[in-house]
Chains A and B, each alone.
Chain A
Amino acid sequence: MPRTRREFVRDLGVSAAAMPFVLNLPSLGFANQQKRKQRIIFIFSPNGTVPKAFWPSEEGAKFTLKEILSPLEPFKDQVLTLHGVSDRIRGDGDGHMRGIGCLLTGIELYPGNVQGGSDTPAGWAKGISIDQEIRNVLQKDPATKTRFGSLEFGVMVPDRADTWTRWSYSGANKPITPIDDPYQMFNKLYGRAKDREALASVLDELGEDLKRVGGAVSAADKKLLDEHATFVREMEKELKEAKAAVGHPVPALEPGVRRDNDNIPKITKAQIDLLVNGFAADFNRVASLQFTNSVGMARMKWLGVNEGHHELSHEPDSNEKAQEKLIKINKWFCEQIAYLTKRLAETPEPGGNGNLLDNTLIVWTNELGQGNSHTMDNIPFVLIGGGLDFKMGRSLKYKKAPHNRLLLSLAHGFGHHIEQFGNPSYCAAGPLSNLV
């Protein structure tokens, strides 16, 4: 998009002053070493879960992870399951639209023209989402400001912008498009460095070219070319200095992974690797990862499931084969989260103590409690990691607690003590009790 290109280029001046920013040099990237770097990741998977294979039966610190959550076993003491948190937002839009659109915003959708199979049509959410709210808080403070603030990842998000495909909002009516192409994300993170690398690699030829042309013009005109050559040499010097100070290794991506259903596992891995890398480089402290969309239609053939996820999710509880497949699907999502958890746990906190997981909270959630009933009660909320100092390693159960209260808890976890988020009528009771 032209505008983005212009902004991009404007940021890219060759001046030495811009360099640390462009290359995320330690001078800025790790500006603040004293304060703990808190991070949060929101992960969306669609179509509800299979409650009987998801929610631990017990309440409290002694609990057993059921089939779907079993991949998290190695990190059980870092896991917090929140049963009984409900999305109470109603209004325009069908269940899936409201499910995803109100999930992080906690507020209704505008009336609009997006028509589902039933219910009234609707537009975008009426408010900012919690990930962006937290991002803004962090970006406002120089001590927690990072190059991007937040990064929005996706995996096979359909190439259309509508209420079913967006969950992160920078404000009312302002949905954010997730980047579901790892190469595009790579360019966003490292494109500038690549540009400079390319530029640096042609400087010898350029110098030679200038010399040749300068030698072929009159003495009077040569002065102009000499000046020109001086500026080119200065640029070369700046590039060399910048190169000597590059912060961290640029990750390598498997080349040529096409964006299609069967590549979902590969795309997911690439996105998770980039996400962890971004945190390690302190490009951002907020991230989201959106698997497909609400009503997502992934066909997990690699699990032996050939039906689309959404159509399966409509099958009644009595269809045991379908339930088995849904458990497989949801377990696969959990495996990806376990991989992310593992990567975070393995990565030492740069310039700090412990590892990235100690300072990161993963929030895994879904637009529905259960696919066949379209209920928004018992939205699957699973938290992992030590980022917000919640007391982890527990199974908690609430009674129809509005999910706005959880959103408030997340803000408070970043020291952002707001009293309301989203629709105020669901905020009266304040943050969820018993988290910390």
Chain B
Amino acid sequence: MNLLPRLTITAFLLLVPTAAIRADEITGEQLYKQHCVRCHGATGEGTKKAPAPLLGDKSVPQLATVIDHTMPEDDPDKLDATESKKVALYIADAFYSPAAQARIKPPRIELSRLTVKQYRNSIADIVASYRGSPKLDDRQGLRGQYFNSRGFDGNKRLIDRIDPDVQFDFRRHPPEADQELKQRFDPHQFSIRWEGSVLAPETGLYEFVVHTDHALRLWVNDNRTALIDAWVKSGSGTEFRGSVYLLAGRAYPIKLEFSKAKQGVDDSKKMSILPPKPASIALLWKRPHRVDEVIPARHLSPVNMPEVCVVEAPFPPDDRSLGWERGTAVTREWEAATTDGAIEAANYVISRLPELAGAADGAKDRDSKLKEFCRKFTERAFRRSLSDDEKRFYIDRQFEGAEPNMAVKRVVLLTLKSPRFLYPDSPGLSAEQAIAARLAIALWDSLPDTELLAAANAGKLSNPEELTRQATRMLANPRAQAKLREFLLTWLKVDQNPDLSKDAEKFPGFDPALAADLRTSLELFLDEMVSGPNADLRQLLLADDLYVNTRLANFYGITLPADTPVHTAKVFGLAIPLEVGFTKVAFEPERRAGVLTHPYILSALAYNAESSPIHRGVFTARGLLGVTIRPPQEAFTPLPAELHPNLTTRDRVTLQTKPMACAGCHTVMNPLGFALENFDAVGRYREKENSKPIDASGRYETRAGEVAQFASGRELAKFLATSPEVHAAFTERLFQHYAKQPVMAYGIDRPERLLKSFSENGYNIRRLVVDAAVIAALKPPN
């Protein structure tokens, strides 16, 4: 290592003159063959010496700079700037750039099976199509009916209202109501029924939790069997839990019954002289990766929704190696899981057959109704109608010699195991039906609904305007909104729920509950940003707003406006976080901007005690700017802060990434991360670290060859908001998330065209989703 600088200088002295002479005539290709082939191979495929293939997304000027500075490795000065540029131009065009790659090996739209999400959603929608679909309205909370009896005697109902959430401490009193009403309650015994629906923001296992010192029953997405049955109050337990798997963006029926009664006293004699027992109740949930919280009003609706058929059979996860979930491979485990899923769905259907098929056991027309039920089931699953031959094959044949339930079971199994269901774009669909199938997959991860199918069957979908109209309509559905949020979380690299535990000594108060609040705060922000008419990507990166509740406000030192609704723990004696109220504030607008400086993102991109400019830089470069950064050649442990008490984080990072092997990438990402150094490991603003002033200056060399400089996180965010690289990377990611196919499979110029319309539409994310879904639905001929 010590010898290297000297050797380089010697080589420079010897070789420069000859190279200079031929610089004018020699082509980039010749230069490449002369200097690069031995390590990189004739078409950049790599050799033993430099195994990584030469592919990437650096622009020609960027590539030229890298070559000029670092290549050939044994003698970086062998090529001058002009020659480096020639090599850069040559390799970019011949094989390096994405466009060149697409030309050499044109990406293809591959036949795909349903992803796990698509599988579960499709089955839910087949079954849902037999049930009513009431519309949710703007009302939030649950309908609460209060009865002056321990049962639910209709004539003793005194209150019928909407409660935003369920967290009540009645103490020894009747339910809260106006004085006259209150007096009509017997404080010894009364009962309350809350009902409506609960909206699942994400897919996963939810735990429902009820805290009460009296009797309760809770039903969630199963109106027959209670999830929690503690109608017998027994002993001193006050916490009751039950789990249920829910799919994102759907509303599920929920009903909670509470009954206060006398306990442990001999009522017949002594009741009149004993004071009423205390009573309280709270309805909480634990969302996947979260902590217990009172179910907030925004996730509750007083509208009664039908049950949803949720198949819970475990599936192997889908391939995400390209950055989006795709179904272009089948495995034995997946095939086995589809069997389990089909059996589960079949048993669900059988257990609810009278309701779904409208065929009562023993009814005369039961068989014909069941056949009709089965025909619809298969047609919905196949996204089209069946011919007479097919009807005989999939339906009639299954009824031969089988008792009716068995026949239905066979049809369901055959249908859900059929490639016509499992491959949403499989042959057999008309051109229009295929468009509908692809559009529904793109926007809902599911099947076309009746309206879309009708448009397809009427031949309207080949009309781009009608197709766009349908896509716009479908985007308004809560499922599409859940999917859009899921995409944004993927774009922000937090879809896998990073662990946000922090050093308890350094950051007292930063506990799992606070981390969950931050996540909620981020999701509220994202929801707001994309639900408005503008849905402007730039605003996502620039807006000053932060959603906070009192816990977050206290931790981040935010003074809430005086009129902020305060939600304090209302339930007596419960050591659980109950607070649900979030409010929007402008948070340090002079220092922060948009998602990048959201404390959740900053905390996720940090160690448990220190900030991490590298993580933040990689996220900004790779995640936002779309720069390809390969992982380091070996794993490194960051230099421990306590061993370098006199260095700032910036100093330590600079020290550790100085070696040549690191610098190639770190010169790109470190300066991006440094711009966020004013924010510590929990995203709080700081001006000093180890009593040294923070240096938050950073830079980025754009693909156009310009150098952007910024001195703070806010300046970095401003740069990113207007960067065409960010816009392009976002466009491409979004498209691939929705289409689940490589964007260039839809034309080598597709990224460029998509970007152009995105910019013409004011960077409107919702319009971009519609565009992407329409393109995916139309699908160019293979």
Contacts and interface: CB of A to CB of B under 8 A. Distances in A.
A140 interface: no
Interface string A417-432: 0000000000000000
B343 A195 contact: yes
Interface in B210-237: 214-215, 221-222, 225, 227, 229, 231-237
A228 B245 contact: no
B332 interface: yes
Given A6-B312, A112-B263, A225-B419, A163 B406 contact: no
Nearest to B342: A199
A205 B267 CA distance: 67
Interface in A19-54: none
Nearest to A215: B427
B312 A5 contact: yes
Interface residues of B, number: 74
A120 B262 CA distance: 9
Contacts, number: 183
Interface in B644-658: none
A183 to B, nearest CB: 10
B330 interface: yes
Interface stretch (A10-18, A72-80, A369-377): A10-18
A164 B262 CA distance: 18
Interface stretch (B114-122, B391-399, B540-548): B391-399
Interface string B595-630: 000000000000000000000000000000000000
Contact of A173 (B235, B242, B266): B235
Interface stretch (A216-224, A262-270, A307-315): A216-224
Most B Cβ at <10 Å: residue of A162, A199, A218: A199
A110 B234 contact: yes
Contacts of A2: 221-222, 227, 244-245, 310, 312
A24 B492 CA distance: 50
Contacts of A208: 393
Contacts of B328: 224
A228 B231 contact: no
A256 B362 contact: yes
A317 B218 CA distance: 45
A241 interface: no
Interface in A89-140: 92, 109-115, 118-124, 126
B427 A14 contact: no
B62 interface: no
Contacts of A234: 332
Nearest to A15: B336
B225 A13 contact: no
B383 to A, nearest CB: 14
B348 interface: yes
B264 A120 contact: yes
Contacts of A118: 268
Contacts of B215: 113
B409 A123 contact: no
B232 A224 contact: no
A121 B263 CA distance: 6
Interface in A162-204: 162-163, 172-173, 191, 194-195, 198-199, 201-202
A191 B350 CA distance: 12
Contacts of A205: 393-394, 397, 414
Contacts of B559: none
A303 interface: no
Nearest to A206: B417
A399 interface: no
Contact of B314 (A10, A202, A214): A10
A122 B533 CA distance: 58
Contacts of B346: 195, 198
A431 B738 CA distance: 70
Given A121-B264, A162-B232, A201-B410, A231 B332 contact: yes
A227 interface: yes
A16 B685 CA distance: 59
Interface string A210-254: 100110111011001101100110110000000000000000000
A161 B225 CA distance: 12
A436 interface: no
B335 A231 contact: yes
Contact of B312 (A9, A112, A124): A9
A228 B335 contact: yes
A113 B268 contact: no
B202 to A, nearest CB: 17
A202 B417 contact: yes
Interface in B375-407: 393-394, 397-398, 402, 406
A109 B264 CA distance: 11
B410 A202 contact: yes
A109 B234 contact: yes
Given A15-B336, A216-B427, A112 B406 contact: no
Contacts of A120: 264-266
Contacts of B641: none
A209 interface: yes
Contact of A198 (B108, B227, B267, B413): B413
A113 B245 CA distance: 31
Most A Cβ at <10 Å: residue of B231, B242, B245, B264: B264
Nearest to A7: B312
Interface in B326-361: 328-332, 335-336, 339-344, 346-348, 361
Contact of A224 (B111, B236, B312): B111
Contact of A161 (B110, B221, B227, B229): B229
A122 B233 CA distance: 8
B462 interface: no
Contact of B427 (A162, A206, A217, A231): A217
A7 to B, nearest CB: 9
Contacts of B414: 202, 205-206, 209
Given A9-B344, A113-B214, A206-B418, A221 B111 contact: yes
Given A2-B245, A9-B313, A198-B406, A115 B232 contact: no
A198 B111 contact: no
A113 B261 contact: yes
A13 B397 CA distance: 27
Contacts of A113: 150, 214-215, 232-233, 259, 261-263
Given A12-B340, A206-B414, A124 B234 contact: yes
10 contacts: A6-B313, A92-B264, A113-B262, A161-B231, A161-B232, A199-B343, A201-B410, A209-B420, A213-B419, A228-B330
Given A123-B235, A209-B420, A228-B330, 10 more contacts: A113-B232, A113-B261, A115-B267, A121-B263, A172-B235, A201-B402, A214-B419, A228-B335, A228-B419, A231-B335
The 8 closest A-B pairs by CB, nearest first: A123-B234, A221-B111, A111-B264, A216-B427, A110-B235, A113-B233, A231-B335, A6-B312
Interface of B: 108, 110-111, 113, 150, 214-215, 221-222, 225, 227, 229, 231-237, 242-245, 259, 261-268, 310, 312-314, 328-332, 335-336, 339-344, 346-348, 361-362, 393-394, 397-398, 402, 406, 409-410, 413-414, 417-420, 422-423, 426-428, 782
